[in-house]
Structure formats: structure tokens, C-alpha cells
Amino acid sequence: MVDVLPTISRVPGFQVAGVACGLKKNGALDFTLIVSDTPCTAAGVFTTNQVKAAPVLVDMERLKRNPDRIRAVAINAGCANACTGQQGIDNALQTARWVAERIGCAEDEVLVMSTGVIGTQLPMDKIRRGIDLAVESLSENNWETAARAIMTTDTRPKMASVNVATENGPYTVAGIAKGAGMIAPNMATMLGLLVTDAYQSPASLEVLLRQAADASFNRIVVDGDMSTNDTVLLLANGQVGVIEASAAALPDAVLSVSRKLAQNIVRDGEGATKFITVHITGAPDNETARIIANTIATSPLVKTAFFGNDANWGRIVAAAGRAGIPLQPEKLSLWITPGEEYGTRLDSLLLFEQGMPTHYSEQQAAAIMSKPAVSIYLDCGSMGNGCATVWTCDLSHEYVSINADYRS
């Protein structure tokens, strides 16, 4: 079992900073800079939204041409730099150029990320100030301020790290992320940055990140919306000198950090009061199980039932039935259980089987639904060996309040 820490002490060869440059109206931290002492191999996964923000387009192109010489990542909050035309592209490039000038590298060795309101141009005077302040504040120990500076509607910073011991010495995998709303798979609507002092070739690193993202960031739902800026980057600088063969534990470490960050996004979902695990078994295959789980996780009726502590199993079964996967209702079995994992069925409550509700206790069902963490377990009746897990949250009045006046 990998021990995932909720903090980051240091990652050899990386320096970070989080500063306030005036992008947020309240004067909070709003600009993050991560710099590696040496060139990194790098990989990225990005939104599948057809409307992609300028920084997404810039990073996708740079990683195609330059996956083994990345030195820095600049991240701003307060402005998404999305739907901003050529000026938006030029501003993203200028941001990278200014960072490169300050740290002494080529401009195509700098990646950029943005989060905030869509359709507004970056205030470049503030971006320039943020870069200057961040370069002056770089330190191995500023990970919490860096995590805070990328927050938008988040209520708390999201960090995770894993220390791995090998015969050639220890290495670290660490990450920060932001996200609380506009969260849906392919990619989940969020920004994430993972770093390690281990080494991986660019091709191996890309495979590793995509596999980790598919089992973490692409398995979370807050509201079913997909943003224009979704990005997760992974940088490996090889500072510790761990050769690729000795980094056998790296995939597990990256997955563990990614999963922790992804789950923390759900826990911090806008207005969320419950963390919900949706687990599907007995589906034709893993992909169809994922589709069923995601349909349940994105259902407003299911999510509001959880907010109201109402064991309305009909909404769950109905969502599964409209997922577009052939199902036989008389073979479905549905349980709910308290906690984040399904575990044993000793404390679970069977709500539905053989096409009908069971004689369950409404009082017991309401008690389970009132827990801060609840798991749904739906067995599709052994149509196959497919299984999948998706993490989601409830939908409350506060979610509407937050998003009704996001720009004001």
C-alpha cells in the first residue's frame, strides 16, 4: 500500500512560488511558478472540449515538439484566457517568454496554464508583475502557497506526495491541483501539476500519465460540465539519478498521487456536503461499467437525493437504465453502504433486486444517506466481468448560489 501524504515538503531539483499579482479582486494569491533546475521530460493530458483555451493549445504544441526539455510551468488564476482569439495565444506565448527570460532558458521550455473566467484577456501588466514576484520568491518549500495560488472557487489547497525507496536511492512524486466546479470526465475540469525527481523517457511518461489520469481525474464528477482549460502535466527531472528500470514503482506512485488529488477535488466540490463512491460490477466490460457509473454520478436527481438524505433508489436504477448499455432490470442488485469504500456487505443495505424494491428499513436507509461519505454498489447481474468506480458528490443549494454569480 502506497502511503500518500497530504503535504509536500520538497522535490529535489524543483523550486516553486505562489504570489499575489492582482488578478483576483480580493487580493488573494493568484500566480504560481514551478521551475526545475534542469530540463525535464514532460507529458500532458488535456480537455477533450472542442473549445480549447489558449494555454491548452500552446502546451499541446510544445509537448509535441519539445517533450524532453521543459524547465518551468506558469499558472495564473482569475482569467481562463479562453475564447480570446489570437491575442490570447500571443499573451500565453508572451507569458512563457517573460518566464524564460527571468530563469534563463528558451521560451519553448516553458508551459503555461490558466483558470478563471472565460472570454477575458489576460492583464499582461499583472502577469509580468506576477512573474517578477514569483521568481524572487522561488523556494523548495513553497508548495502550499503554490497550491493556494491556483485556487478559484476551491475552499482549500490540494496537495499530495509519495516517497519511494529504491535500490538506487529514494525519489518523490508530488502534485498540486485545483478544481471544485465544472468537473466531468474526459478530462475532468481542473488543473493539475505532478512532478518527480525520478527519470522516465518522454514516451514512457506519456503512457504513464494517461493511464493514471484515466483511473483518477477521468473518474470524478461534480456537476457534469467540461471546461475549456483542463490540463494535467507531469514533469520528471531525473535529479535523483534513478534510472528508468529502477523506477518500477513510479506508475503506482503517480496513480496514487493523481487519485488523491482527484478525490480531493470531489470532496471540495462546489457546495458539496457528501463524498459519493459509485461502484459497478457485472457489466459487459470495464468501459460499459464506466459509462453506467458516470451516468449515475452525473444525474442531478441522484445527486439531489443524496443532498436530501433520501434513499430514492429509483433515481439510481433509472439513471443506469438510460446509460445506453443493455441491462436486464430483473438481474440488477443495488446496495448502499456508509463510507468511501464498499467493503463488506455487513453494514450495507440492499434496496433493489429481481426488478423490485426489497423490504428495507427507510429509517436505516436515511441514516446511511445522511453520512458524509456514502457508497453505491450496483451489480448488473453478471452480464460480464466489467467493473468501474467513479467518485462524485451531492448537489446542494450552495452550488447554485456559487455559480449564479461567478463573474460578479
DSSP 78-96: EE---S-HHHHHHHHHHHH
Model pLDDT for residues 258-278, shown as the tens digit of each residue: 999 999 988 887 767 899 999
- The reported pTM is 0.91
CATH number at residue 332: 3.10.20.340
Q: Which residue among 249, 267, 285 closes a domain?
A: 267
Is there a domain that residue 8 lies in? no
pLDDT above 50: residue 188? no
Give residue 384's pLDDT. 84
Both 85 and 174 in one domain: the answer is yes
Both 254 and 299 in one domain: the answer is no
Both 263 and 279 in one domain: the answer is no
Give residue 343's pLDDT. 56
Which range among 9-18, 249-258, 267-276, 307-316 shows the weakest confidence by mean pLDDT? Answer: 267-276
Give the total number of structural domains in the chain: 2
| 18 grid coordinates | 505562489
Both 297 and 244 in one domain: the answer is no
CATH number at residue 114: 3.60.70.12
Residue ranges making up the domain that contains 196: 14-267
Is there a domain that residue 6 lies in? no
Give residue 403's pLDDT. 57
Both 288 and 195 in one domain: the answer is no
Is there a domain that residue 399 lies in? yes
Place of cell 447481474: 381
Is there a domain that residue 260 lies in? yes
% the chain with pLDDT above 70? 90
Q: Which residue among 216, 246, 267 closes a domain?
A: 267
Q: Catalytic residue at 196? A: no
Angle between helices 85-103 and 124-137 (to 10 degrees): 20
pLDDT above 90: residue 159? yes
Identify the burial level of 74 via C-beta atoms within 10 angstroms of its C-beta, where 0-12 means exposed, 13-18 middle and 19 or more buried. buried
Both 202 and 68 in one domain: the answer is yes
Both 306 and 331 in one domain: the answer is yes
Is there a domain that residue 239 lies in? yes
Is there a domain that residue 3 lies in? no
Give residue 186's pLDDT. 56
Q: Which residue among 208, 234, 267 closes a domain?
A: 267
Is there a domain that residue 342 lies in? yes
Both 375 and 300 in one domain: the answer is yes
| 34 grid coordinates | 514551478
Both 285 and 261 in one domain: the answer is no
Both 123 and 169 in one domain: the answer is yes
Is there a domain that residue 46 lies in? yes
Model pLDDT for residues 373-400, shown as the tens digit of each residue: 999 999 999 778 999 999 998 887 676 6
Give residue 399's pLDDT. 63
Higher pLDDT, 34 or 190: 34
Both 288 and 338 in one domain: the answer is yes
Torsions phi, psi of 354, nearest 5?
Answer: 55, 35
Both 71 and 194 in one domain: the answer is yes
Candidates 41, 84, 189, 298; catalytic one? 189
Give residue 408's pLDDT. 43
Give residue 338's pLDDT. 93
